Structure 1
Amino acid sequence: MSKLLKCFSAKDWLFIFLSLALLGAQVYCNLTLPEYMGAIVGNIKAGAMAGDLSLYWSDILKNGGIMLAFVAAIYTTTILVSYLSSFAITDAMAKARQQVFGKVNDFSMTEINKFSIPSLITRSTNDITQLQQTLFMIINLGLTAPITGIVAVIKILNLSGDLSIVTALSVVALILLVLVMFIFVVPKFKKIQSLTDKVNLLTRENLTGIKVVRAYGAEKNQEQKFENVNREVAKTDIFVDRIAGLVSPSMSFIMSATSLALVWLGAYLINDGKIDFEILTVFTQYSMQIIMAFMMISMLLVMVPRGIVSAQRINEVLKSQSSITDGAGVDENLLTEKGTIEFKNVSFKYPGADDYVLKNISFKVQKGQTVAFIGSTGSGKSTLINLVPRFYDASEGEVMVDGRDVKDYKTADLHDKIGYIPQKGVLFSGTIEDNIKYGKADATEDEVNEALKISQSKFVFAKPEGVQYNIAQGGHNVSGGQKQRLSIARALVRKPEFLIFDDSFSALDYKTDKALRRALKSHTKGTTCLIVAQRIGTIRDADQIIVLSDGEMVGIGKHDELLSSCPVYKEIALSQLKKEEL
């Protein structure tokens, strides 16, 4: 939990200590009030016995004034503690949320897949909120309840041993009640958080694939899947709520029964001359404080385990280390090669998998060359190019960039060399200009416009707002082809050393595809390009074409060479083009 404790700044700790000091003063005031109430009862009794209450009126007013002062102090400290603790905890949890977000950004795909996206969302939101509420309760009740209970017990033991038995029996009943709740409820909290992950997963999955769901009339199927998980969440919550629902009436019953027993037994003791009414009044007040203290402790015992579960889940994220770590760094001035990419006997399998996705891949790309990858679905094309920006690390062999192993680079330096365009165009909410400048924050207007023109994003200039046109979340107000072109423009604006296209032309029509390739060829001379594609037309002019099948290289060469030397390539080509078009 040390990671979470570091989220508290010196100011936060100061506010927490001030809160604890004020709570100490509040406890003192609460524990002193019964004594003055007893004194007032004693004054009234003495005045009644003397037959003239006015003789003790000044003492009654004095004690009453002191009680009002204590009540005002309790009211003031409660407000101050609430303000100070709220500030400290909210500030610390905001930092924790920021740290989790930053940590997730540093994760490789291995860690993201390990936790799952819905779980990471839950940990960043629901778990932190749950922990925030728990910490607030701990600070406000964690000190006051135990101290109040312990001191009140000491005081009643000094007042009357007989009446203490009643309070002791009440405390035992409360402890048994809390234990029952602790045993049955606490194990359910971890289950609730896990089920919340599942709810987020299904909700996200359904909303992301809503078009497919509707197209196949699968609404009922999705609703049934959600209902099954939702029913499990409800079932668990109902179980917890039913047990928790017994606590409040049970405690109210114990408090009422204790008050009745104290009055009944107190009457006998007063009649026997063992105590007086003043002691009974003070004793009753302290007994109620003891019971209230145990009620607060029981609330803590319900909330704290849930908060601990949330804290553990957050801490799991914060203490996880990315499997992709920075290298020592590469001095660009000492590089003997520039613009080259080389795979040396590279094999790769996903973490936890038994089978290799790539097997013994070796090739070299020279500066300014365009190398394309083609193969059937699942042949390992995208996996291969994902090893260059280190989304994953090779299981065996070396991936070299500019003559150095990618593991030698600092990740940020490596990524600065690369313009990466994923198959599914990813846009962020904001203007088109914001999205293009995501690739280069200080890009000029001319650079943005040039990147848009090269990427054939002419539709931008046709809009009244131009580059200030607002993109909706996920880019839902532009087409798939437009998203791909804007993603390409984002990569082009940074003028990278390498361009990686992961099937980034798939949503383009043939005319736009051809125009884009022609523009890229004339405007990106000297830039090394890796292209994953399914269309022969997209890659036939590449300097090299690498053919993959079941993770193995089965062919390398130019278009014409592969038609005669690689049956897999020829089969793909004939499935798309007529013989005379080859």
Structure 2
Amino acid sequence: MCYCRNMQVKIYGLRGCCFGIANMILVKRMRETLYSSLLLQEISFFDGETVGDLTSRLGSDCQQVSRVIGNDLNLIMRNVLQGTGALIYLLILSWPLGVCTLVICSSLAAIMTVYGMYQKKTAKLIQEYAASANEVAQETFSLMRTVRVYGTEKQELKRYNHWLDKLAEVSLRQSAAYGVWNLTFNTLYHATQIIAVLVGGMYILAGHITAEKLTKFILYSEWLIYSTWWVGDNVSSLMQSVGASEKVFQLMDLLPSDQFISEGMALQKLQGHIEFVNVSFQYLSREMVPVLQHINLSVHPGEVVAIVGLSGSGKSTMVNLLLRLYEPTNGQILIDGVPLNELDTMWLRGRIGYVGQEPKLFRMDISSNIKYGCTRNIKQEDVEWAAKLAYAHDFITLLPNGYNTLVDDDLLSGGQKQRIAIARAILRDPTILILDEATSALDAESEHNVKGVLRSVRSDLSSRRTVIVIAHRLSTIQAADRIVVMDGGQIAEMGSHNELLHKNGLYARLTRRQTDAVV
């Protein structure tokens, strides 16, 4: 008996170890697959999703699913085998009593199924409310300075408590359902004992079974009932995992963007000739509001073109279309005469340098931030060369660890981050350089230095680049070859700085307004 018990313990331990390993592999693959699927989605997908929700799916939802293999399936399999063995032995002992016990267990299983489906629904609600609460917390923590300045701590706490109250309400209903399930089990369990004693007593008096067989029957019926209980409990937990996993599997099943699955062509040499041919665009979420309307623009290789206009006129949208973050609703964009959607997107982006209005730096050292995205072999001398061109080398060397300093939000000013982003774009040695409000966070001296970068780009005949500059500060782009003035999603004017001033149109008015604001 002792030997058998030891063998049973070893078998249980081996099974638990195998399920634990399978659980670890499952969670790793799930998170890897989900993360890969999210990375390959269109930018428009992220416009409709929140960071808090997606990170919640990667974190708690995947961990919830891991219970399926690590715990639920393991215990369900064990108890199903034990319960089946107990049922067979009960039928051998006395098939009439065994059938009665089977009827009770079937009733228990039916209630268990209803309870499991309810658990599945509540699990989906719990995951959604938890994700919403995480979203509020993440947004509040990332904007803590704004919260502190405006004194909205109580307001943010109220927002967070709103989702916690919903979460508590669903959890309360879930607990009540568990109580009903537990009461039902205890009732049926004791009913089984009473029936076994009453019917078994009559069978003993009738001489159909012995007292020894009845004792064995009661013991094995308890084993069967408890096996059914554990199966029900684990199935309800399994249904919770299934409910939590539905959104995860929906995200995992999303097809990648066409940019990653279609094989585009790569040109032998990129010249940098850009053409917008009758391009129109509106966002899917605002289909009735056109952002761009019939844009026709040709940018020649090596030309510096500035795009200006009021906020919302479509300047940054043109850049987003050129980077193929979105697809034009109508018309097409040509690069060196080839439609943009026929080119290899990854190849093209490797030859474009981009600096956004609010550059985001990764939590890594400054040198790694500057080298970010460069596929060729980069030496430290190259990093410093790009930093010098972006007028970032001096302040970097004054940091505690120089180029090895870990980037932190409190460490660098907005202008310093922008100059590091400019250095990152220059290091790529791009054929096309895009500066989208790249001087918005710079002071007057730094802006003057960035103008020097533009001048050096234009004067370097060995590697002339096509440069597109978007700027609200009109002083930044006065030396551009051409200035494109946007208004209401259309090109209102086009020409050099002096030509546009003589036209006395929108550009001249914008220039006078900025001059008056300075005065």
The answer, yes or no, to whether TM exceeds 0.5 is yes
3-state SS of paired residue (1:215): helix
Partner Cα separation in structure 1 for residue 148 and residue 473 of structure 2: 30
Is the 1:454–1:520 Cα contact (8 Å) retained in structure 2?
Answer: no
Q: Which of 332, 345, 364 is matched with 2:278 structurally?
A: 345
Spell out the pairing of 1:400-479 with structure 2 (5 A cutoff).
400-440=334-374, 442-457=377-392, 458-472=394-408, 475-479=409-413
Partner Cα separation in structure 1 for residue 69 and residue 135 of structure 2: 28
Spell out the pairing of 1:136-215 with structure 2 (5 A cutoff).
136-164=70-98, 167-168=101-102, 170-175=104-109, 177-182=111-116, 184-215=118-149
1:416 Cα deviation after fit = 0.5
Is the 2:119–2:239 Cα contact (8 Å) retained in structure 1?
Answer: no
1:144 Cα deviation after fit = 3.1
> Structure 2 unaligned runs (5+)?
none
3-state SS of paired residue (1:130): helix
| Letter of the 2:272 counterpart | G
Deviation track 1:302-322 (CA, whole Å, cap 9, x = no partner) reads 123332233331222222224
Is the 1:439–1:493 Cα contact (8 Å) retained in structure 2?
Answer: no
In structure 2, relative to structure 1, the CA distance for the partners of 1:462 and 1:490 (3 Å cut) is same
Computing the radius of gyration from Cα coordinates, the structure with the larger value is 1
Deviation track 1:449-479 (CA, whole Å, cap 9, x = no partner) reads 011111121210112411011113xx34211
1:448 Cα deviation after fit = 0.4
1:297 Cα deviation after fit = 2.4
1:328 aligns with 2:266: no
1:553 aligns with 2:480: no
Q: Which of 91, 100, 124 is matched with 2:25 structurally?
A: 91
Partner Cα separation in structure 1 for residue 257 and residue 415 of structure 2: 34
1:284 aligns with 2:222: no
Partner Cα separation in structure 2 for residue 422 and residue 471 of structure 1: 18
1:265 Cα deviation after fit = 4.7
Normalised by the length of structure 1, the TM-score is 0.82
Q: Which of 499, 502, 517 is matched with 1:564 structurally?
A: 502
Q: Match of 2:332?
A: 398
Spell out the pairing of 1:200-279 with structure 2 (5 A cutoff).
200-248=134-182, 250-252=184-186, 254-259=188-193, 261-263=195-197, 265-279=199-213
In structure 2, relative to structure 1, the CA distance for the partners of 1:506 and 1:580 (3 Å cut) is closer
Is the 2:266–2:344 Cα contact (8 Å) retained in structure 1?
Answer: no
Is the 1:431–1:470 Cα contact (8 Å) retained in structure 2?
Answer: yes
1:176 Cα deviation after fit = 5.0
Is the 2:121–2:243 Cα contact (8 Å) retained in structure 1?
Answer: no
Is the 1:130–1:310 Cα contact (8 Å) retained in structure 2?
Answer: yes
Is the 2:433–2:467 Cα contact (8 Å) retained in structure 1?
Answer: yes
Is the 2:120–2:242 Cα contact (8 Å) retained in structure 1?
Answer: no
Once the two structures are overlaid, the 10-residue window that deviates more, 317-326 or 392-401, is 317-326
Once the two structures are overlaid, the 10-residue window that deviates more, 241-250 or 440-449, is 241-250
Q: Match of 1:58?
A: none
Q: Match of 2:241?
A: 307
Q: Match of 1:373?
A: 307
Is the 2:279–2:330 Cα contact (8 Å) retained in structure 1?
Answer: yes
Once the two structures are overlaid, the 10-residue window that deviates more, 105-114 or 481-490, is 105-114
In structure 2, relative to structure 1, the CA distance for the partners of 1:566 and 1:111 (3 Å cut) is farther
1:383 Cα deviation after fit = 1.1
In structure 2, relative to structure 1, the CA distance for the partners of 1:161 and 1:561 (3 Å cut) is same
1:74 Cα deviation after fit = 2.2
Deviation track 1:363-391 (CA, whole Å, cap 9, x = no partner) reads 11112221111111111111110111111
Partner Cα separation in structure 2 for residue 208 and residue 236 of structure 1: 28
Is the 1:422–1:502 Cα contact (8 Å) retained in structure 2?
Answer: yes
Normalised by the length of structure 2, the TM-score is 0.92
In structure 2, relative to structure 1, the CA distance for the partners of 1:402 and 1:551 (3 Å cut) is same
Partner Cα separation in structure 2 for residue 292 and residue 372 of structure 1: 76
Is the 1:100–1:317 Cα contact (8 Å) retained in structure 2?
Answer: yes
Spell out the pairing of 1:378-389 with structure 2 (5 A cutoff).
378-389=312-323
Is the 1:111–1:323 Cα contact (8 Å) retained in structure 2?
Answer: no
State the percentage of identical aligned residues.
27
1:579 Cα deviation after fit = 11
Partner Cα separation in structure 2 for residue 285 and residue 520 of structure 1: 88
Q: Match of 1:59?
A: none
3-state SS of paired residue (1:427): coil
Q: CA RMSD in A?
A: 2.4
Partner Cα separation in structure 2 for residue 230 and residue 124 of structure 1: 21
Partner Cα separation in structure 1 for residue 303 and residue 504 of structure 2: 21
Deviation track 1:226-284 (CA, whole Å, cap 9, x = no partner) reads 21121111111111122124434543454355345534554554454332233123212
Is the 1:454–1:523 Cα contact (8 Å) retained in structure 2?
Answer: no
Partner Cα separation in structure 1 for residue 174 and residue 517 of structure 2: 70
Partner Cα separation in structure 2 for residue 258 and residue 566 of structure 1: 96
Q: Match of 1:120?
A: 54
Q: Match of 2:442?
A: 508
Partner Cα separation in structure 1 for residue 96 and residue 517 of structure 2: 107
Is the 1:378–1:550 Cα contact (8 Å) retained in structure 2?
Answer: yes
